[in-house]
Amino acid sequence: MGKPTGFLEYDRNEGPVRSVKERINDFDEFHGLLKVKDQMRQGARCMACGIPFCQAGVMISGMASGCPLHNLVPEINDYVYHGNLSEAYVRLSKTHCFPEFTSRVCPALCEAACTVGCDGEPVSTKENERTVIEYAFENGLVKPDIPKVRTGKKIAVIGSGPAGLSAAYWLNKRGHEVTVYERRDRAGGLLRYGIPNMKLDKRVIDRRIRLMEESGIKFIYNANVGKDIAPEELMKQYDKVVLACGASNPRDIKAPGRDAKGIYFAVDFLTEVSKKIMDSGYDYKKCIAASDYSFGSLKGKNVIVIGGGDTGNDCVGTSIRLGAGSVIQLEMMPCPCSERADSNPWPEWPKVLKTDYGQEEAIACFGSDPRIYQTTVDEFIKDKKGNLTGVRTVKLTPKKDEKTGRLQMVNVEGSQEELKADLVLIAAGFLGSEAYVTEGFRVNVNARTNVETAEEGYETSRDSVFTAGDMHRGQSLVVWAISEGRNAAKAVDEALMGYSGI
């Protein structure tokens, strides 16, 4: 696929990125696209490798390698190379219902497993995908998928994050009547409220939701199933129920002084900012100048983010846009290597140092990388009124547990240090599903509070109740959630019809 010698003739080239100085003044997306003729050359770099690891979607050494959706990557790249973006969209839509989301926020598992990347720069599959889907939208190729025949079967999907939307999309396409219940005021879940607007403009989500509604899917908002709506009532109304409520319990940092005023979970912080942006009609100046956030104005404030993952990085970038005077990011683990270690060969996911947009912005604004590795909070410091004034950190070092043989990060005695802090954002991950939902539907959960199913299955311990996404597999990527939604939809379809057309 592509041009057999293209990877030798053309260098990898990515779309334009707005400068830090410009982009920190708004919440617009900052990563643009190449012109189509230039993107065609990127499609040409797909080398007809024979074994497309890019679309394998398998686990190697406990890490995903290749696309979990099994997108037809070489075929799509070939159509991009030939400039046939319409047919590229047809191929892409066979396996993927929301490429406009993953082409913006996915870490590109496909590219990490690209054969060209074994000894060079991988094919820019993610940008090829975005070019294809945006071309399809601009040219009216993405239309409501209204089924010609309805089955008469009714399904409730609880949660409108990527897993819930995916399940709803495929079940509706099959001809079932689908109703999505969302506890917030808008659809999207993590896509809308956990990912900042500069990574995924919320109008992109709105565009897709309108199409889903036109396709016959019903959305009910401000409907918190398990609290406002009794699960047993839904069980009576619907033939099947799909639980896709995410891994919504944030992991806390239980250190002395945790009750200080000025400590927030990252997801609550990002949610509040995203909602303000949407409610203001995307008036960024108004949002940046606002002081009526629950955390007040960040103008000139010292912000500390606990957690080194994507959410932590998003908190860094958001804090900078809100005018923070300094931002520090604490990471428990050691700094990764700059290149693959011998123990981490291709096509495994590369465990290498990544400097994301938030860190790039912090370096440009404050002169240094905001990350402090092998460090955690030992104590939150507060004044007499209970207001946060700083944190006492402690260094960590790896130590093997004699019983389990696992490496653990343990405190280094005498390594404490005090840092000023007006606001602390906890981005330490999530612990699993929320009890009021799982208990309300009377489904079993495992030790991590993820909803329990048979291995590679999606039906829960309760008949007619299925699950998908983070609620099922634990905190993961958007692309995995979309894959889970499709697989759960297939399981529901088989249970209803005796076979599946999904």
Please list the pLDDT of the chain residue by residue as tens digits (502 residues).
678 899 999 999 999 999 999 999 999 999 999 999 999 999 999 988 989 999 999 999 888 899 999 999 999 999 999 999 999 999 999 999 999 999 999 999 999 999 999 989 999 999 999 999 999 999 999 999 999 999 999 999 999 999 999 999 999 999 999 999 999 999 999 999 999 999 999 999 999 999 999 999 999 999 999 999 999 999 999 999 999 999 988 999 999 999 999 999 999 999 999 999 999 999 999 999 999 999 999 999 999 999 999 999 999 999 999 999 999 999 999 999 999 999 999 999 999 999 999 999 999 999 999 999 999 999 999 999 999 999 999 999 999 888 888 889 999 999 999 999 999 999 999 988 999 999 999 999 999 999 999 999 999 999 999 999 999 999 999 999 999 999 999 999 999 999 998 9
As a whole number of angstroms, the distance between CA 54 and CA 41 comes to: 19
Q: 341 burial class (0-12, 13-18, 19+ CB within 10 angstroms)?
A: exposed
Cα four-point dihedral sign 169, 132, 72, 58? negative
Q: Is residue 287 part of a domain?
A: yes
User: On the CB side of 455, how many CA atoms lie within 13 Å of its CA?
Assistant: 0
Number of domains in the chain: 3
Q: What pTM, to 2 d.p., does this model score?
A: 0.96
As a whole number of angstroms, the distance between CA 266 and CA 483 comes to: 26
Name the one residue in this structure whose structure tokens are 């005090």: 418
Say which CATH number the domain at 121 has: 1.10.1060.10
- Could you say which of 383, 407, 426 is where a domain stops? 426
Q: Are residues 291 and 312 in the same domain?
A: yes
- Determine how many CB atoms are found less than 10 A away from the CB of residue 241: 25
Would you state the torsion angle of the CA atoms of residues 37, 39, 40, 43, taken in this order, to the nearest 10 degrees? 170
Q: Is residue 363 part of a domain?
A: yes
Q: Is residue 80 part of a domain?
A: yes
Expressed as residue numbers, the domain containing 107 is: 6-138
Q: Are residues 336 and 414 in the same domain?
A: yes
- Pull the structure tokens for residue 89: 């969209």
In 220-329, alpha helices (H): 231-237, 266-279, 284-289, 310-321
As a whole number of angstroms, the distance between CA 467 and CA 414 comes to: 47
Q: Is residue 256 part of a domain?
A: no
Q: 3-state DSSP call for residue 199?
A: coil
Q: Are residues 195 and 89 in the same domain?
A: no
Between helix 357-366 and helix 310-321 the angle, nearest 10°, is 40
Say which CATH number the domain at 363 has: 3.50.50.60
Q: Are residues 365 and 223 in the same domain?
A: no
Q: Is residue 181 part of a domain?
A: yes
Q: Are residues 459 and 416 in the same domain?
A: no
User: On the CB side of 171, how many CA atoms lie within 13 Å of its CA?
Assistant: 35
Q: Is residue 200 part of a domain?
A: yes
Q: Are residues 405 and 278 in the same domain?
A: yes
Q: Residue length, the chain?
A: 502
Q: Are residues 335 and 464 in the same domain?
A: no
Q: Are residues 276 and 379 in the same domain?
A: yes
Per the DSSP assignment, residues forming a β-bridge with 158 are: 181, 243
- Pull the structure tokens for residue 200: 């995924």
Q: Are residues 11 and 131 in the same domain?
A: yes
Q: Are residues 105 and 212 in the same domain?
A: no
As a whole number of angstroms, the distance between CA 3 and CA 5 comes to: 5
Q: Are residues 422 and 436 in the same domain?
A: no
Residues 176, 155 contacting (CB under 8 angstroms):
yes
Q: Are residues 409 and 452 in the same domain?
A: no
